[in-house]
Amino acid sequence: MNIATLLNTKHGEGADLHGADLSGANLRGANLHGAVLPTGETWEKYLAEVVLALCAVGNAPLHTIAEAWTFHTWQNCPMAIAFDVHTIEEVPALYRQRVEQFIQLFDARLVPCPVS
């Protein structure tokens, strides 16, 4: 059973993932509504605040980042554009874990574009 199946069996209750190691987890199709992420915020707060903050931290215009939202390779990943980097190692250490978290959720097609 993958993690998406486990998360979708909560019957409307959000899973508490605080402290969970989700590295390598298959999250595609997961329903994270109400879930508390390992970083302590709810899924809704993550989408409303963290994603937008990650997009805005660099100097890239938000519309440029939004144009990359359908791509799922590092060369044109929204975070690569936001931070103007070519590898995860180039992301400043302060943001690296958050960018890794974003990539995992983004690659699972769970993160909608925060700007229109």
State pLDDT tens for residues 84-98. 999 999 999 999 999
pLDDT value, residue 40: 93
User: In terms of residue numbers, what domain contains 27?
Assistant: 3-107
- Answer yes or no: is 47 within a domain: yes
Q: What is the pTM of this model?
A: 0.78
Phi-psi region of 109 (alpha: psi -120 to 50; beta: other; left: phi over 0): left
- Answer yes or no: is 112 within a domain: no
- Answer yes or no: is 115 within a domain: no
| CA 83 to chain CA centroid, nearest Å | 15
pLDDT value, residue 50: 97
Number of domains present in the structure of the chain: 1
Q: Does residue 10 surpass a pLDDT of 70?
A: no
- Answer yes or no: is 114 within a domain: no
- Answer yes or no: is 91 within a domain: yes
